[in-house]
Structure 1
Amino acid sequence: MPTESPVNILLVDDKPENLVALEAILGDLEANLVKSTSGEEALRCLLQTDFAVILLDVQMPQMDGFEVATLIRRRPRSQDTPIIFLTAFSSSEQFMFKGYALGAVDYLIKPIAPNVLLSKIAIFIDLFKKTQALRQKTEILQRQTTQLEAINTELQTSEERFRLLSACSPVGVFVTDTRGCCIYTNPRFQAICPEVEGAASDQIWLNSVHPEDAETARSTWAAYLESGQEYAQEFRCHAQDDTTRWASIRSARMVSEQKTFLGHVGTVEDITERKRAEAAKAQVIREQAARQEAETANRMKDDFIAILSHELRTPLNSILGWASLLQSRHLDPRKIDYAISTIERNAQAQKQLIEDILDVSQIVRGKLQLHRQPLDLVAIAQTALETVKPAAVAKRIAVTTNFHDYTRLEVVGDTLRLQQVVWNLLTNAIKFTPEQGRIDVALSVTAEWPKGQRPPKSACQGDSPAPAYALLSVADTGLGIDAGFLPHIFDRFRQADSSITRSQGGLGLGLAIVHHLVEQHQGCVWAESAGLNQGATFTVALPLSPSGAAGLQPPAPPPAEQPHLRQAPHPAPQKALEGMPILIVEDDTDTRDFLTFLLESQGAAVTTAASGEEGLHLIGSMQPAIVLCDISMPDMDGYRLIQTVRTQMPEPQAHIPAIALTAHARLSDRAEALASGFQSHLPKPIDAEVLIRTILQVTGL
């Protein structure tokens, strides 16, 4: 059988022009001409390729043609490859005999007649093709002979193998004819499905099925015989010891190679132990799920308590600190205004935290009461926008509104609670939107209940649907919401990332309160976000009252903003920390300002950092006498900062005294702070005298 691909011819000559000449002569042979300019290169070509003939120049530098031929003949794969020597320098018989002695088939003197070379090469190409064809036929005959021997061996042993498999199989086997009547069963089948006295012998395993499963078994088996699809069912069966056991029955059609239907073959397996194990495993999984759910709930509550402690103590630190300084009567009159403003702002923040906690407590106990009356949703939205306007201006956030020129959208509900809903959504948007971001507030009307949203639990089954629904949406360009956390965004005691709470403040209860209040008004609220750093949109749907819309009331004038004065603190008469360089690392601005004023009033030279990364940089570039460091900070907390200082900084920064100032006041928090490398731990709110005394004690002054 001739080969379909072109044969290979190896041309070896150190002169490129000679190779070009040979290529021109042999170009019409439809052969693959492989050119080599040295003996070494020719030998590398022979490693992977078989050649019909080799044209080998005798006179070559480094390794001549005779040496190359010697090496070619040593390889079993190329020892029979025809070699034609080509030379232009010697026609002596001695060289010709040497060439023929090395197995050459010819010895040609240059210049070579093209027709002579072509005729010789053509002979070797034809011989190579015939040899390859003969080799292929031989290989095919050998494979066929081997296959026939294997088939004969298999035929001789197949009967014995089948007998052994059938007798020793741990699975019951049955065979039926084309009508489904049983014609063969193995011993294991007979053990799992014993014969029932008086029952038809051709009903195979159906006779042993438990009476409660018999009807299902017969109907499914009949459907299988009709459809011909693969059968797989599990039933209870009566065993030989009169116990009830579980059996798995599988069956499929038997079809010959000629596509002739021969019957059915099936298996019966005792799966009683597996069923018992599955039942036990299911019980364990239920118990584990219940335990994990309880542990998760406890952990969420513990996390919430820790956050609650932090959020309550942080404003207390500024309130009590500035109150103590006011009582000392050493403040500049302008600084008194700043102190009072700080105390009021932090007291308001603490008041809001306490109100959220009380609201959640009422929600949990079902005691939250609503005072329902007709009200204008447009006016409520305008009032909430004016309330949060100063916070948006402070962060240079652009707030746009689109109320579609509605003069009035009347709903029935509690004015204060709906204001709380809108205020919470706007406050959340401002909190999680970076500076120079954007918030879009829109009001619209829809005639249908929002698709994909479930009716509120508080709605009565007999309530008729509202004629229309008002939609209030608050969209921001803020941090966004991870897709995995989006379904839990309104859950109580659950937060996506505590570091976000640390950087933005709050307990994370606002959205849970919003969800409950909206449902109490027979509405719904949902959140949408493309992912982290992609912003978020919260939408509230509330039923409009049947009376429709009235006039839009103009929004109230914005409250006057109170400027925050920031003056240099007046030093106290007694300067216990005169000239001491102190670094404060604190992400809360009010706490940082209070500590700066307090320590500078005692003569200290204070440097502040608003984050752990910034504090670490300052420690590396300056030499403070002591570091006062908050624990709960975003990105890098106080534990990590002080551990980095102790383990990665050179002397003398590695042994700078450090005091942990934190709202985490448990004994375990104190132990963790000391273990991390702090010399002392002071819980917030900070007492001024205790702080100064501790600084003096830690620094050894």
Structure 2
Amino acid sequence: MQAESKVNILLVDDKPENLLALKVILADLEENLVQATSGEEALRYLLHQDFAVILLDVQMPGMDGFEAASLIRSRQKSRQTPIIFLTAFSTDDNMQFKGYAAGAVDYLLKPIDQHILTSKVKIFVELYKKSEALKQQAQQLAILNSELKQSEERFRSLSTSSPVGIFEIDHQGNCTYTNPRYQAICNITAAECLDKSWLEFVEADDRDAATTSWLNYLSQGNEYTQEFRFLFKEDIVRWLRVRCTPMLRTDGSIQGHVGTIEDITDQKNAEATRAQMFREQAARQEAEAANKMKDEFLAILSHELRTPLTAMLGWSKILRTKKLDEQGTSRALDAIERNAIAQTQLIEDILDVSRIIRGQLRLNLGVVDLQLIITAALDAVRPQAEMKNLQLDICLDDHVGKVSGDAVRLQQVISNLLTNAVKFTPKNGKVEVTLKRVETSWVEIAVKDTGIGIEAEFLPKVFERFRQADSSTTRSQNGLGLGLAIVHHLVELHKGSISAVSPGKGQGATFTVKLPLLQNKHHHLNAGNMSSSASALLPLAGLRILIVDDEVDNRNFLSFIIQEQGANVTAVTSADEALAVLKEIQPDVLISDICMPGEDGYTLIKKIRTLPVETGQKIPAIALTACSHEEDCAQALNAGFHEYISKPFEPSDLITRITKIARLS
């Protein structure tokens, strides 16, 4: 802490011994004692220094103490300086009166009592110090007020000339200040700003999101930054960026919020224009790539079709023109047959792609045993694998269960994957095939090879039509590049998924197919049934349906007609039970009655739409109700249902609706 500075005390006496005596008496005060031997010398000191108190001898040659006191009092700077007269002579009242009239605050007679003198001087010293402290505080306060005034003027200037709108709200959310730019952006007066929130100008489509995010900000107190469309007078729509941050008191509590609004319409328009340019550029590049890819495909197609024709025509002419022995004839016929089969497969692939493009590829559904399918596919590729001395590792789970699907198409999927694995794996390599149950209700088929692998940049394109990693005339393998695209489409038709992974070129690849297991345990169709009647009788095969209805008869009826169509049904009596079931399983479709005790169907679907995606948020849903008014239908759809069916209804209509919305899952 800085030591307190000493104050000045002026001692005026023409006799040095008196000055020395005063200096000794006042030494304990530890202040700065200034000595003057005449009134003139005292006045000279007063020109340059301030004094807490003056001890002034009355009887001095030349200018006496009374004259000196009068001159001291005549100066503005020393007018209030306390003067104590010291004298050894007259003690009459006239002399004391003259001294007080000259401006003295006290009049002491010599010899002076040192304790009295010290106490009196000490009082004036303390008064002086307090006065100086008050002056310093006053100066500091004046400086602070000046700085505050400058700060206020600077804020007012910045706020007035700010290119963004500024607003201030209190802790309750009421607007307390807006700057001119805010008023200009919103096209309202300063008085109107105090009654209207910026939320009132947000366009209707964005208002719910804006209100929700704003209320979350007010409750949580984090920084706020959002962009919304604002609708102003004359139906003018502008994009604005809203920012806000809390204003905190010294104790950390929120006393209000300060925010800005900024017109970013030009920026948004520029971004939209730039995005459109990028889209158009990407579309052009994609079109150019597609045209190049089609040209390459046509060249490959021509090559692939002409190659077997060359062999077939060549051997046919040899058979016509030359008489071959039995071995030669057999060799010729084998070559013709082999190339005819290869060409037939090429044509089938082209036809399949054509059906896929037109949306005309249909499945002939039945109950399929995947073990049989995989075994048959393995038997077909085993000769080629043995020719290359490939090791086939097979691991098939005997208890994996069955799937609903088209046995022919599923065998096509497995055969294609196995054929590729054998084709692209060099001699003495290995191909692994596994079948296992995953995630309770799914089955996984994996085909892994030690072949040429797939480069990272081509991996995302491996299932695209007309795509081949090598489309040059020097490519090492034949084919049109359609097989994996067909496989991908067939797996998706079975509501499954397929993925491909590869560590890189020369490090092999793994293709994994996931299919939903058939959950219905009451049908007894034979595995591999592919008849059209099976497809017609089981349009809901493999689907998991959740029924919610408090009426037991209705519940049983719904369960019966839906199970008859091959679905796996779970039936519950209330909204609470339905929510509990959703935590355990993932149904493909929800069918709910509207009028139920406790929570009705509207409440149930609203709760479901707030759940996480993995627990049923987007589940396709059908509402059943005895009410048939148009407003009832609208209410059901607005609540979150996809379909609305009035009671009584035709079972076939319900089945059709289920089949329709099941595609959404």
TM-score normalised by L of structure 2: 0.45
Q: Indicate the structure whose relative CO is greater, using CA pairs within 8 Å and at least 6 residues apart.
A: 1
Q: Greater Rg, structure 1 or structure 2?
A: 2
